């Protein structure tokens, strides 16, 4: 039994069976208790009527000799004390007549079957007439008094010990009705439970097929959202997962293509240079050495960037945090790039809080600053401006790098930190790098539990805003 349909159906049936059994037991117990209480009330009323008759009989006879050892007279007395014969004198006269044969079934007028359960005891609680009782059991008894003196006791074996036949028949009939009701209820529950279980399991079965398709790499599959309950929200999450997987697969393919392109370019240049040297087309001179060195440096930087990203994705980016003067690092990085920016006529302004100390990896922060300023060298227009600002708000350090342009569209800023993404679509290396610089910046900031985002600069261009914990 592995299907969800069978599990839901079985759970419903078991729950309802347990509930119905509890109801049956409670109902049967309640009926039995109510019947017993009703019979006891009737019995108490019978004792209240019989005790005065026995008291008057004892007053006239002086003892219990009229009834002791005469069971027929006892039964006759019980018949004569029915409500239909209220004359006490008539009872006394009838008791003195000779006994006559018992009529079969003459006691059946008493639904409580009292003649078979009543007993009469003397003042010492010795049996005089009626049913034989055990002295170890407690029975309901009424005292028989004559002139304020207890001369005997009349009582009955309670219905808790033996219910009358009609009461037992009534309870058996009610039990059969309850069992029949239980069977009907179980049938209805089975039918309704099957319909409900099928209704609940059908969308889950469809979702399971969607997940299986996603596991096979069919990321175009989507779940149909029919409801707004938990199953509907699960469908939304599965569709979101499918979109993410499809997006990641496309990004992975672009990632592999971009890596191949970026590696192929310097390798192809190196191969061409070396072949030209071998063929004697070019001679070994300072210009050739410089060209080969630049390509090797570019290839080494690309490999280092790829390694940094790979370590970051694996959660193995090595951070050696220590007390670091972030202000000093920013000044050093600005000093390194100031000359290159000046060559393009770009003005660099610093607004740094002095001696801003944070717990961070200074090497990674230096790499972060270098990548940001490298982008400024590549993309800020000639004659532009760059402002590097470092402030603190008590809980975090805020680093802002603003430039004068050109600005970016909102869609471009959303993709700015994606790997190999370039605003400049041309792959000319004079204007664009590998497209990994800002992706590495984001991973470095994430490793320091910080936040990085791109905004429109107040200077008209791009603003990279970084927040790091103090």
Same domain, 451 and 368: yes
Query: pLDDT grade, residue 429 (50/70/90)?
Result: very low
- DSSP calls for 215-245: HTT-TT-------SSHHHHHHHHHHHHHHHH
Max CA distance (Å), the chain: 159
Identify whether 352 is part of a domain.
Answer: yes
Q: What is the pLDDT of residues 229-273, one digit of tens each?
A: 788 888 889 899 888 888 878 877 877 777 777 778 778 878 888
Assigned domain for 460 exists: yes
Work out how many domains the chain is built from and give that number.
3
Whether 300 maps to a domain, the answer reads: yes
Domain boundary, last residue among 117, 137, 165:
165
Domain annotation covers residue 206: no
Residue 316 pLDDT: 62
Name the pLDDT band for 104 (thresholds 50, 70, 90): very low
How are beta strands 322-325 and 140-146 bridged, if at all?
unpaired
CA torsion sign for 53, 54, 60, 65 is: positive
Is a pLDDT exceeding 80 seen at residue 199? no
Q: Which residues pair with 127 in a beta bridge?
A: 121
Range of the domain at 262: 230-313
φ/ψ of residue 407, rounded to 5: -80, 175
The least confident of 37-41, 163-167, 306-310, 419-423 is 163-167
pTM above 0.75, yes or no: no
Residue where a domain stops, chosen among 165, 188, 204: 165
Q: Has residue 189 been placed in a domain?
A: no
Sign of CA dihedral 86, 90, 92, 96: negative
> What is the per-residue pLDDT for 409?
80
Q: In terms of domains, do 288 and 140 share one?
A: no
Q: Are 144 and 17 found together in one domain?
A: yes
In this predicted structure, what is the pLDDT of residue 388?
A: 94
Q: What would the pLDDT profile of 370-400 be if each residue is shown by its tens digit?
A: 889 988 888 888 889 999 999 988 788 999 9
Q: Who's near 323: CB < 8 A, 6+ residues apart?
A: 357, 358, 359
Domain end, chosen from 290, 313, 336, is at: 313
In a domain, 191, yes or no: no
| Residue from 449, 255, 228, 267 nearest 358 by CA | 449
Both 253 and 157 in one domain: the answer is no
Who's near 401: CB < 8 A, 6+ residues apart?
372, 373, 376, 386, 387, 388, 389, 463, 464
Report residue 164's pLDDT band, with 50, 70 and 90 as the boundaries: low
Is 119 strand, coil or helix?
strand
């Amino acid at each position: 039994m592995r299907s969800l349909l069978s599990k839901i159906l079985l759970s419903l049936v078991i729950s309802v069976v347990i509930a119905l059994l509890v109801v049956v037991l409670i109902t049967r117990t309640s009926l039995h208790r109510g019947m017993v209480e009703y019979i006891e009330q009737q019995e108490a009323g019978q004792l209240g009527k019989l005790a005065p008759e026995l008291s008057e009989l004892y007053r006239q006879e002086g003892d219990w000799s009229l009834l002791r050892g005469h069971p027929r007279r006892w039964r006759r007395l019980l018949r004569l004390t029915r409500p239909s014969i209220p004359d006490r004198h008539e009872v006394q006269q009838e008791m003195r007549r000779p006994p006559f044969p018992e009529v079969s079934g003459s006691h059946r007028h008493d639904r409580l079957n009292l003649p078979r359960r009543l007993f009469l005891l003397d003042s010492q609680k010795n049996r005089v007439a009626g049913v034989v009782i055990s002295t170890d059991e407690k029975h309901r008894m009424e005292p028989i008094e004559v002139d304020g003196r207890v001369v005997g006791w009349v009582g009955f074996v309670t219905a808790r010990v033996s219910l009358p036949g009609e009461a037992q028949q009534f309870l058996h009939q009610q039990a059969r009705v309850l069992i029949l009701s239980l069977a009907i209820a179980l049938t209805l529950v089975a039918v309704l439970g099957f319909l409900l279980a099928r209704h609940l399991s059908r969308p889950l079965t469809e979702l399971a097929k969607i997940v299986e398709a996603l596991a096979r790499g069919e990321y175009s599959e989507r779940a149909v959202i029919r409801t707004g309950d938990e199953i509907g929200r699960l469908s939304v999450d599965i569709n979101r997962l499918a979109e993410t997987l499809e997006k990641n697969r496309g990004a992975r393919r672009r990632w592999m293509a971009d890596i191949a392109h970026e590696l192929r370019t310097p390798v192809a240049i190196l191969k061409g240079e070396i072949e030209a040297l071998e063929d004697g087309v070019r001679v070994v001179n300072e210009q050739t050495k410089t060209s080969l060195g630049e390509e090797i440096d570019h290839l080494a930087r690309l490999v280092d960037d790829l390694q940094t990203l790979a370590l970051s994705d694996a959660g193995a980016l090595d951070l050696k945090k220590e007390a670091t003067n972030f202000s000093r690092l920013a000044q050093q990085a600005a000093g390194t790039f100031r000359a290159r920016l000046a060559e393009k006529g770009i003005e660099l302004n610093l607004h740094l809080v002095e001696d801003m100390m944070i717990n961070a990896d200074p090497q990674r922060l230096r790499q972060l600053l270098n990548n940001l300023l490298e982008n400024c060298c590549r993309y800020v227009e000639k004659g532009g401006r760059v402002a590097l600002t470092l402030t603190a708000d008590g809980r975090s350090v805020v680093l802002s790098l603003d430039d004068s342009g050109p600005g970016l569209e909102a869609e471009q800023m959303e993709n700015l930190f994606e790997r190999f993404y370039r605003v400049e679509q041309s792959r000319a290396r004079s204007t664009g790098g590998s497209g990994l610089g800002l992706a590495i910046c984001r991973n470095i900031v994430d490793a320091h539990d910080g936040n990085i985002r791109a905004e429109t600069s107040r200077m008209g261009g791009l603003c990279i805003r970084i927040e790091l914990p103090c």
